[in-house]
Amino acid sequence: MLQLALFVLGAHAAPTVTLRNGVQMPMVAAGSWQYNSSAAYDSVTAALKAGFTMIDTALDYNNQDGVGRAIAESQVPREKIFVETKVPGCGMDPSMLNLFKCQEGTKKNLEKDLQLLNLSYVDLVIVHFPPIASMITRSCNSWSGGCQMVRAQWKAMEEFYKEGKARAIGVSNYCPSCFDCLKSATIQPMVNQVQFHLGMGTDPNSFVSYHKAHNIQLQAYSVLGNSLDHHASSEIVSGNLTVSIGKAHNKSSVQVALKWVVSQGIPAVTKSSNLEHLQQDLDLWSWSFTAQEQQALDTHSSPGGSPSFACNSLSASEVLV
């Protein structure tokens, strides 16, 4: 039994990328959004059993105790699990609308999150969104105070990092105007977690090239294409391209879509409540696309979308997320 468990655990360990501070981050993470504490406990338990080495969660998901309990009870050594979490952007938490309060509020949220997760450190913590006003102005620096909020919040992140409570710090749903605010920061964001999936092409809104040029590691969420209800999109699950390529390799359409994301060198966050799906989501490295398949996937244009709905020009439907 033990042998079997160890075998499953080692089955498809994901490769890693190296962040700008040298920390190794796995290419695939199991997410936990929209799971209550008990569902998060079950999903994280299943993910660790399937061999996931990385978990993605957020203070906002209100399930930190379930995530923490699954980690504590997993018997996987703490240092073998890469834990990523998020703290609310300025104004997302009503107590942080005011500039000064965003730094203080972020500091409090960082500590609160560690406590709820029952951990002494996390591997990566990211700011969940740009300041709330950026959702209206579509930019971090086109309104008075926007950049100041970004900077005030980032100071709390830097402090947490320097205290050794996070091995890496980053952001989510940021766009270049937000990074512009942090040009003179001592510690630069290491990661930006954004929507990215098949159908967006290899460099949507120049996001991929921008992040490469600035040495910020992009990380993809909504990798299965639906940013509205956060289920896998039918184009990806049952579309001809993913299904036919999957058939050629005895893999599922979802595996094709996930493999396409990681084949761009972009780590992926997905989620599942199903052990078999979780195992599939890690089986992305034992097989290869042909050059023709790669080309067809790279140029596929459905489902579309933009990487950072929080501060890019975008369609009205995306604003509603």
Ligand X SMILES: *[C@@H]1O[C@H](CO)[C@@H](O)[C@H](O)[C@H]1NC(C)=O
* Residues taking part in catalysis: 61
Tokens of 159: 């402090």
214 contact, one of ligand NAP, ligand X, none, CB 5-8 Å limit per kind:
none
**299-317 b/e (C-beta count within 10 Å ≥ 16 → b):** ebeebebbbbbbbbebeee
Alpha helices in 214-290 (DSSP H): 234-238, 240-249, 253-263, 275-282
18/244 with CB nearer ligand X: 244
Rounded Cα distance, 35 and 28, in Å: 19
What sign for the dihedral angle of Cα 304, 310, 313, 314?
positive
105/293 with CB nearer ligand X: 293
- Residue 230 makes contact with ligand NAP by CB under 6 A: yes
> Least distance from C-beta 96 to ligand NAP, angstroms?
17
Contacting ligand NAP within 148-177 (CB under 6 A): 172-173
> Least distance from C-beta 291 to ligand NAP, angstroms?
25
- Residue 44 makes contact with ligand NAP by CB under 6 A: no
Tokens of 302: 């459905």
Of the listed pieces 64-72, 91-99, 208-216, 223-231, which binds ligand X according to CB under 6 A? 64-72
- Residue 178 makes contact with ligand NAP by CB under 6 A: no
Q: How many helices (H) and strands (E) does the chain have?
A: 14, 10
296/321 with CB nearer ligand X: 296
As annotated, the binding site includes 128
As annotated, the binding site for substrate includes 128
Judged by CB under 6 A, the residue of 18, 21, 38, 115 near ligand X is 38
Contacting ligand NAP within 107-146 (CB under 6 A): 128
Rounded Cα distance, 66 and 36, in Å: 8
For the chain, the distance separating the N- and C-terminal CA atoms, rounded to the nearest angstrom, is 44
- Residue 241 makes contact with ligand X by CB under 6 A: yes
- Residue 144 makes contact with ligand X by CB under 6 A: no
Rounded Cα distance, 213 and 206, in Å: 11
Judged by CB under 6 A, the residue of 74, 103, 141, 193 near ligand NAP is 193
Rounded Cα distance, 26 and 80, in Å: 11
Residue nearest ligand NAP, Cβ-based: 31
Residue 89 DSSP class: P
Contacting ligand NAP within 18-37 (CB under 6 A): 31-33
A 10 A CB-CB count for 151 gives 16
Question: Which residue is it, tokens 């299965």?
Answer: 224
Give the footprint of ligand X on this chain (CB under 6 A): 36, 38-39, 68-69, 72, 118, 240-241, 244-245, 250, 296
Give the footprint of ligand NAP on this chain (CB under 6 A): 31-33, 56, 128, 172-173, 193, 221-224, 230-232, 252, 254, 269-274, 277, 280-281
